[in-house]
Structure 1
Amino acid sequence: MNLLRTVATFLSVLTISVTGYCQDVVKWNFTAKKIADKTYEIHLAAKLEEGWHIYSQSSPEGGPLPTKIVFSKNPLIMLQGKIREEGKMEIYHEDVFDVDVYSYNNKVDFVQLVKLKANAKTSINGSVEFMACSNGKCLTPEKVTFSLKL
């Protein structure tokens, strides 16, 4: 299954490369919202162009590249719980991978609750790796980084 996933991803990337189709179809907005003393919501919001989608963080084995969010280690910050996905999730069967996949069209907001261990100014840093697809064609997976002051 991993070989099938690798081959399918390679062919998708090759198709995009051959056609010269490269554009910024996903716009990211990163914000930190204070909700209580030493407690913040970190919002990683994606807005997608019409007809494009990105995948959930939960992708079945052998499926397409899931969205992967990584927060850099910071001794002043504790992550609270799992990252929530807020948006209209689409679930459908993808013949290329022969699995049901979970994706978001138009927009999705990934939300992580964090708590500061002390009353100190600090930043939370990290990255989002994702793959945008439309009509069976996928762009090369992309990684964007963020840094937010708390």
Structure 2
Amino acid sequence: MRRLLFALSISALLGPVLFWPARLLAKEDPVQWSLAPAAGGHSLELKADIQPGWHLYSPTTPPGGPIITRIRISENPAIAEYQVYRPQPVRKLDPNFQIDTETYAGAVTFLIAVTPAASASGKMALEATIRYQACTDVKCLPPVTKKASAAFSFAADASSYRFRAPAGYALVAAEAAKDAPPVQASSAAAPVRSFTAGDEPLLPFLITAF
């Protein structure tokens, strides 16, 4: 009986500790995405609103570190092709990975130029899928995949229109727009913590205490 009571006491004590990190991470959602037609009927604007202290990674971030931001448009018979353009990121040493990374903070807008198929007509629903990773200077969340959608109508001259990116924007290479397996950080990189600095797991202490 004493052993049963002891086991129940340990379960009650350790239960909240075991699941605390997962609950903490589940509450954090620092990046919100929205998709909207750009003026002119030739492109879409995909905007990320990023909470203060957080950042996400440009498609141009060098390999060997975080998960870069990847954007694609779901298959649609009205779309012949599309191209993603990104603004200029900030390049600096990332304390989480100990390599130079290229990041966006605050708010960032990607442009998606779309070319209509011959059968395109009227208003349609377009959907973007975004795969990304959000980090602060001391921790990173697991990679996330989100979707954003918008109603869109092509301009009358869309089939012959040649999209020109505004100043400060560059075309994202096709390879960076595709889904890819995560790149493993180099062995020299600092380990990335998935919980706030200073919050150490209590499980080893509790086990040794008993």
Q: Given the superposition, is the C-alpha separation of residues 34 and 19 from structure 1 closer, same or farther in structure 2, using an over 3 Å criterion?
A: closer
- Structure 1 CA distance for aligned equivalents of residues 98 and 29 of structure 2: 28
Mark the structure with the bigger radius of gyration: 2
Task: Find 1:28's aligned residue among 9, 20, 33.
Answer: 33
Shift of residue 128, structure 1, vs aligned partner = 0.7
Shift of residue 136, structure 1, vs aligned partner = 2.4
Choose between structure 1 and 2: higher helix proportion. Answer: 2
- Structure 2 CA distance for aligned equivalents of residues 63 and 108 of structure 1: 21
Task: Find 1:119's aligned residue among 97, 118, 121.
Answer: 121
Shift of residue 24, structure 1, vs aligned partner = 2.1
Shift of residue 93, structure 1, vs aligned partner = 2.0
Q: Quote the residue 2:71 is aligned against.
A: 69
The answer to whether residue 153 in structure 2 is matched with residue 147 in structure 1 is no
Secondary structure class of the residue paired with 2:64: coil
The question of whether the paired residues in 2 share the 8 Å contact of 1:74 and 1:124 is answered with yes
Secondary structure class of the residue paired with 2:59: coil
- Structure 1 CA distance for aligned equivalents of residues 52 and 98 of structure 2: 25
The answer to whether residue 89 in structure 2 is matched with residue 84 in structure 1 is no
Secondary structure class of the residue paired with 2:38: strand
Could you list the runs of 5+ residues in structure 1 that have no partner in the other structure?
1-15
- Structure 1 CA distance for aligned equivalents of residues 23 and 75 of structure 2: 40
Secondary structure class of the residue paired with 1:140: coil
Q: Quote the residue 1:10 is aligned against.
A: none
Q: Quote the residue 2:137 is aligned against.
A: 135
> Given the two structures, how large is their TM-score scaled by the length of structure 1?
0.74
Aligned length: 130
- Structure 2 CA distance for aligned equivalents of residues 123 and 40 of structure 1: 14
> Given the two structures, how large is their TM-score scaled by the length of structure 2?
0.55
Deviations 1:59-78 (A, max 9, x none): 21212100011211222113
Deviations 1:90-144 (A, max 9, x none): 1012355343210011111111111223333322223111111112201121111
Shift of residue 30, structure 1, vs aligned partner = 1.2
Could you list the runs of 5+ residues in structure 2 that have no partner in the other structure?
1-19, 153-210
Q: Which amino acid aligns with 1:24?
A: D
The question of whether the paired residues in 1 share the 8 Å contact of 2:35 and 2:44 is answered with yes
Secondary structure class of the residue paired with 1:122: strand
The question of whether the paired residues in 1 share the 8 Å contact of 2:94 and 2:137 is answered with no
The question of whether the paired residues in 1 share the 8 Å contact of 2:74 and 2:126 is answered with yes
Q: Quote the residue 1:42 is aligned against.
A: 44
